[in-house]
Amino acid sequence: MAEVGSGHTGGVRVRVAPSPTGDPHVGTAYMSLFNLAFARQQGGDFILRVEDTDRARYVPDSERQIFQTLRWLGLDWDEGPDKGGPFAPYRQSERSDTYRPYVEQLLAEGHAYHCWCSPERLKQMREEQQKAKRPTGYDRLCYGKTREERAQLPGFSENPVVRMLIPDDVALSFIDGIRGEVGAPRPDDQVIVKADGLPTYHLANVVDDHAMGITHVVRGEEWISSTPKHLLLYDWLGWERPVFLHMPLLRNTDKSKISKRKNPAARLLWFQEQGYLPEALVNFLGLMGYSMPDGREIFSFDDMVASFDWARVNTVGPVFDLDKLAWLNGHYVRELSPVELASRITDHLSRTGVLPPEPTQEQRDVVTSAVPLVQERMAVLSEAEGMLGFLFADETFAIDPAAAAAVLTGNAREVLTSALHALDALETWTTPVIEDALRGALIEELGLKPKHAFGPVRVAVTGRRVSPPLFESIELLGRERTLHRLRAGLDAVTDEGEKG
């Protein structure tokens, strides 16, 4: 791996260039993964550049969340706003001065022109074009006019934008490093500097990719239509073109583009909230478009690096199948050592408020002891909240009302009373002793079937109808708390007639 600060050594340099416009999109992780895998395989550099020139859509906390989620996934960068590097600054808002000379050059050489059309005029123009079923696009009213000439005409606004003058013979296809020759629609006279003086994405992106020595631009398919404009800018400015590679878009199961509006999984934070493991998500994102030479579905980032080849990237829109992800996650959960899983569960429970931000050693020990009860049963860490929450709730402990209504009724009073007596009499508090006592009291003496014997005890003690194995749970909960909950459970029993 290249040392930060080593400068451009002539090797591969790739980047991910997210815009901090909201909480991080899963596509940012997806692009980072493929860029980074390629960089690592080539011994190149991976750069994180924040594209924050769109101040209207800027969300202050977004950048921190982007850093946090990418690091959580292990997709760390060699150069970036927080790390510095030879081409700092890595935030476009701090680079505004870099763009100006190139704008001057493009204007002077006739590749760009000022446009004073007001937003209202542009809107009206577009509506008329649509009504007449003509192709929409800027009609070049301002082209070739001085400010004074243009000011005589309607729809003039004080602060001009700068537009590219797209030539008639603009190339509408280019060679993509994954797809081969791709075509794109004819571009409009793209705005490259906005009325506020800031560059648009198109200009800033090209200038920075050049300035930062980016050799391969790996990005989403949605940018294919922009690439002819970017290529023009490279040519006009006399710069060597990088290789362009467009990854497929992630799709919902209905094949539509994955979006935060439609799919919670478009938000990277969602995976943390749900308790997916970063290694599972990395594997899953890898599967979205990449296939291992031996076809195996379970692979790590390092496996992917070792075999990495753009020819193995499939551009047919990969479907974001959450069932598959849950399956993968369950696999990784079972692969973890119990100690490691305990630490992941503890972190998750802290994050979700089941445990305090700094859990006590005792709380950590309880999670560690509980891991064998849940490791085989859970797919995502959030399930631990439901399965283990009862171990940490005291004042807040409450029996799920639906479970109470269904189970703490009929002969539940008799069951709980017998269980209470049997457990109260115990001198040692271990799983086998607890099991013997409850079986003796409920199955042998009361003659109940296991479901009727243990159901009410489970609901009283864990608050739920589904829990980790009962006797182990009771051991972990401890004597005092168990007896206390059985008594409280007794108070919660309703007789058949009382319901409703």
Catalytic residues: 260
Cα Rg of the chain (Å, integer): 31
Minimum CB distance to ligand GLU smaller for 201 or for 310: 201
Nearer Cβ to ligand GLU, position 62 or 329? Answer: 62
Least separation in angstroms between residue 47's CB and ligand GLU is 11
**Contact between residue 191 and residue 159 where contact means Cβ atoms under 8 Å apart:** no
> Would you tell me which residues interact with ligand GLU (CB under 6 A)?
17-19, 51, 201, 205, 219, 223
Q: Please calculate the CA angle 432-437-441 and round it to the nearest 5 degrees.
A: 150
Question: Which of 199/456 has CB closer to ligand GLU?
Answer: 199
Residue 21 CB, nearest approach to ligand GLU (Å): 8
What pairing do the DSSP bridges indicate for beta strands 243-247 and 216-220? Answer: parallel
Q: Work out the angle between the directed axes of helices 470-477 and 383-392 (0-180°, nearest 10).
A: 50
Q: Match 């409850």 to its residue by tokens.
A: 438
CA distances from 188 to 138, 164, 347 (A): 6, 8, 50
Q: How many CB atoms lie within 10 A of CB 84?
A: 13
Q: How far is the CB of 219 from ligand GLU (least distance, A)?
A: 3
Q: Which is nearer to ligand GLU, 64 or 123 (CB)?
A: 64
What is the bridge-based pairing of β-strands 112-117 and 156-164? antiparallel
Three-class DSSP category at 131:
helix
Residue 51: CB minimum distance to ligand GLU, A: 4
Shortest distance in whole angstroms from residue 185 CB to ligand GLU: 18
Report the Cα–Cα distance between both ends of the chain, in Å, rounded.
67
DSSP state of 9: -
Q: How far is the CB of 76 from ligand GLU (least distance, A)?
A: 18
Cβ proximity to ligand GLU, 317 vs 455, nearer residue: 317
* Residues 162, 138: Cα–Cα separation, whole Å: 12
Nearer to ligand GLU, 150 or 251 (CB): 251
In the bound state with ligand GLU, the residue whose beta carbon lies nearer, of 79 and 279, is 79
**CA angle (44, 50, 54) in 5-degree steps:** 145
* Cis, peptide link before residue 89, omega less than 30° from 0: yes
Q: Which is nearer to ligand GLU, 266 or 442 (CB)?
A: 266
Q: How far is the CB of 67 from ligand GLU (least distance, A)?
A: 15
Please report, for residues 48, 105, 218, 301, 469, the alpha-carbon distance to residue 388 in angstroms, rounded to integers and kept in the order given.
39, 65, 43, 31, 11
Distance CA 41, CA 309 (A): 9
Residue 350 exposed, middle or buried by CB count within 10 Å (0-12, 13-18, 19+):
middle
In the complex, what is the shortest distance from the CB of residue 115 to ligand GLU, in angstroms, rounded to a whole number? Answer: 23
- The residue at minimum Cβ distance from ligand GLU is 219
Q: Which of 206/474 has CB closer to ligand GLU?
A: 206
Asked if 461 contacts 482 with a C-beta cutoff of 8 angstroms, the reply is yes
CA dist 468 → 368, 376, 456, 487 (Å): 14, 10, 15, 21
Nearest-approach distance from CB 19 to ligand GLU, in angstroms: 4
| Contact assessment for residue 468 and residue 378, using Cβ atoms and an 8 Å cutoff | no
- Please report, as a single letter, which amino acid is at residue 105: Q
Residues whose CB is less than 8 angstroms from the CB of residue 294 and which lie 6 or more positions away in sequence, other chains included:
none
In the numeric block, the tokens 């509408």 are attached to 172
What lies within 8 Å, CB to CB, of 23 at 6+ separation is 59, 62, 65, 267, 268, 269
